[in-house]
Amino acid sequence: MTEFLGQEIASAVEKEFNSLALKSGKPGVRSNGVSEWSVLSGIVALEDGIITVLALSTGVKAMPNEVRKYSHGWIVQDCHAEILCLRLFNYLLLDQIKLIESGKDHSKLLERSTSMKYKLRDGVKLALYISEPPCGDASMSFLSEDKVAWEGPKPKKQKVVRGRAHFDLHGIVRTKPGRADSRPTYSKSCSDKLCMKQFTGVLNCVNSLLIEPIYLSYLVLRQDKFSRKDFDRCFKGRISESSLEIHPLTPLTYKESEYQYERNELSSPSPASLLYVVPSKTSQVIVNGVKNGAYIKNKPPKPSGASFICKRKLYEHACHLLPPFSSYEELKRSNKQRESIKASARNILGSWPESLPDSFPLSIQ
């Protein structure tokens, strides 16, 4: 049944992306003639043999850790495509809840559960397509072929490693890659974040208060860039001794691609990320974690310049459904079961240094 599923999912996501008639957002050609590249990600729902594309995103950037000092929830920190795609999915789920509660229509994704929360409808599975292997441990063999690993002292045991350092070290937590001279980010690699989702699910802290945990079933990757050894080590081997419940990711691969903006030696990474929610046809272009053109150096954007998937906007999208909280941090810590699972999973994975807090006060409703 899954023999051709990876190709079918990839084709569906790429077809949806290629059909977008947007004036900006997709990688382009710079004034010096250099073409841009970016990673494409898409999340799809699978039910009764039908593939429904839910959201698309592109992106390869992550903000430095110090940005959190003044973000106050207005800046999207991690702009790698697959992480943006999961944020878009969380936004879409809130749309689905509003649809149900309005009584105007039923949701094709969610239904009420016996726990008084919502849940993913029975029979629906989710797959995440990524045009490149996720950065970090799941792509070490693929990246090491470039032979551009940074030099430096060997890290001590349990110390986090920056993305492109020490290709010989496997099964460890890494931060997002970037130039060796770039300001460091503590945002963990996509491999590590996706591995964590096998424990916690893909819901953010807001939606976890409204919806029962939702898990990915499949990760869809290009066959000529896929390493089964890396995948099994990243998503299975290093967590094999865990006593926590694991919802394992199953890899699916595809051969043929119609995505035009893949990475190559002559292209440069696009600074922009394209966001698109398929059912509502909501689109946005973000640069430096805010709406294109809204970036202010060393300051948060004006509220009108924030992305609709930043922490502030996602909270505002759901606040009428939530009990009162005094701060975002209080909201985040309120789901005790989720916080306990996260803490245990981080211990299993090893060093997981905390990024600077990005909290903000919430008005009492």
Tell me which residues are annotated as active site: 82
Kindly state the DSSP code that residue 92 receives in the 8-state scheme.
H
d(CA 2, CA 346): 31
- Would you say how long the chain is, in residues? 365
Compute CA distances 108 → 10, 45, 111, 125, 191, whole Å: 21, 10, 8, 12, 29
Sign, CA dihedral 276-277-281-284, equals negative
Asked if residue 75 lies in contact with residue 67, where contact means CB atoms within 8 angstroms, the answer is: yes
Q: What are 150's strand-pairing partners?
A: 165
If you compute the radius of gyration of the chain from its CA atoms, what whole number of angstroms results?
20
d(CA 86, CA 214): 11
H or E stretch including 140? Answer: helix 140-144
166: left (phi over 0), alpha (psi -120 to 50) or beta: left
Asked if residue 166 lies in contact with residue 154, where contact means CB atoms within 8 angstroms, the answer is: yes
Compute CA distances 228 → 28, 130, 149, 167, 234, whole Å: 33, 16, 21, 17, 10
Characterize 221-241 residue by residue with b for buried, 16 or more Cβ atoms within 10 angstroms of its Cβ, and e for exposed.
bbeebbbeebbebbbeebbee
d(CA 252, CA 233): 16
H or E stretch including 98? Answer: helix 81-102
Pairing of strands 282-287, 290-291: antiparallel
- Which residue is associated with the tokens 């869809």? 220
